[in-house]
Amino acid sequence: MNNNHMTLGEFIIDNQKHFKYSSGEFSRLINAIRLAAKAVNHEIRKAGLVDITGASGDINIQGETQQKLDVLANDLFKQTIINREIVCGIASEEEDDFVIVHGKNKANDNKYILLMDPLDGSSNIDVNVSVGTIFSIYRRVSPEGTPVTEEDFLQKGNQQVAAGYIAYGTSTMLVFTTGKGVNGFTLNPAIGTFYLSNPNMKFPDIGKIYSINEGNYVHFPKGVKEYLKYCQEEKENRPYTSRYIGSLVSDFHRNMIKGGIYIYPTSAIGPKGKLRLLYECNPMAFIAEQAGGKASDGYKRILDLKPTELHQRVPFFCGNTQMVEKTEEFMSKYPEDANY
């Protein structure tokens, strides 16, 4: 079929046979994510029209005020997935603990678990700037038919079977990988269908964009400070361009298309960084690698880190391979900063 006309639904069916665990369960899971994405998209698109923006008042486990749409997006994804009985557990950035999904008769024979950041960058909602959803899928390690355990969620990122994001930008895109490259689908809102718009996405060989909250410069580790000076130097193809939306999904998406690096380092005010390993860094790292890029904590591959807790934070350097390697070169001069 001509890629220009392929829908996400057709793509899923077409690719099911290439997927190593092709039971159909996984395809149903991606279908449910597609459905929830459309529902969240609908809510986001009317955020400016109705009075549902602003803080809901609840404080999440990281001590941050939740926005109403965070709560809504979390509920929509959770309910859509739970109703379809296709996973045995869900962990979300917006939930204190993981959710055990019981199937009929309390037993749950489903193999997959879902981890998600239902609405990332949600502080951007009030100012009409892009936000995103990030998701990550693993096979459980505990026996089927028993309730999921924390160990199911604390797997290394290199065990992911799929990961993706939805970018609610000027258009809505669903981008995902099952370990066979990265494909991007754009929603036609008139008919509610995602079309394959960006097949086999790859970082360009040369990247020239760096994305970091430079306002925190004084708090950054020495290696990051030196890398930033390197980016700003007038030499070879530098200085680079600085672009920072403050929405990981959007910053990552732009950098993957145009070539760049996203950095959220440790700092004096956030000694472990800000982003969460399980809901943000691992899925983005999987997508980055599948698109020919790289993701690191400044010293080690993100996907090889062994998670110790659900809401763990790590420093994150992700994007164009050459650029990430350059940051690692600078960071390696300060090995003491590897112990965050």
Among ligand AHM, Mg ion, none, what does residue 172 contact (CB within 5–8 Å per kind)? none
Nearer to Mg ion, 8 or 36 (CB): 36
Instruction: For residue 120, state whether it binds Mg ion (rule: CB under 5 A).
Output: yes
The residue behind tokens 């960006």 is: 198
Among Mg ion, ligand AHM, none, what does residue 64 contact (CB within 5–8 Å per kind)? ligand AHM
Angle between helices 222-232 and 321-331 (to 10 degrees): 130
Supply the minimum distance, in Å, between the C-beta of residue 163 and ligand AHM.
Answer: 16
What are the distances in angstroms from CA 187 to CA 4, 160, 239?
13, 25, 36
Instruction: For residue 246, state whether it binds ligand AHM (rule: CB under 6 A).
Output: yes
Which of 117, 152, 328, 337 lies at the binding interface for Mg ion (CB under 5 A)? 117
Supply the minimum distance, in Å, between the C-beta of residue 10 and ligand AHM.
Answer: 31
Q: Is 63 exposed, middle or buried (0-12, 13-18, 19+ CB in 10 A)?
A: exposed
Task: Show contacts with ligand AHM in window 87-126 (CB under 6 A).
Answer: 93, 117, 120-122
Nearer to ligand AHM, 40 or 88 (CB): 40
Nearer to Mg ion, 117 or 297 (CB): 117
Nearer to ligand AHM, 202 or 243 (CB): 243
Task: Show contacts with ligand AHM in window 276-335 (CB under 6 A).
Answer: none
Which of 6, 101, 224, 248 lies at the binding interface for ligand AHM (CB under 6 A)? 248
- Cβ atoms of residues 253 and 170 within 8 Å: no
Instruction: For residue 94, state whether it binds Mg ion (rule: CB under 5 A).
Output: no
- Cβ atoms of residues 238 and 185 within 8 Å: no
CA-CA-CA-CA torsion for 166, 80, 274, 278, nearest 10 degrees?
A: -100
- Cβ atoms of residues 330 and 230 within 8 Å: yes
- Cβ atoms of residues 314 and 302 within 8 Å: yes
CA–CA–CA angle 279, 284, 285 (5° rounding):
110
Supply the minimum distance, in Å, between the C-beta of residue 154 and ligand AHM.
Answer: 20
Instruction: For residue 152, state whether it binds Mg ion (rule: CB under 5 A).
Output: no
Site string for ligand AHM, 20-59 (x = CB under 6 A): ----------------------------------------
Please give the size of the binding site for Mg ion, defined by CB under 5 A. Answer: 2
Please give the size of the binding site for ligand AHM, defined by CB under 6 A. Answer: 12
Instruction: For residue 64, state whether it binds ligand AHM (rule: CB under 6 A).
Output: yes
Binding site for ligand AHM (CB under 6 A): 64, 93, 117, 120-122, 213, 246-248, 251, 274
Residues within the interface to Mg ion (CB under 5 A):
117, 120
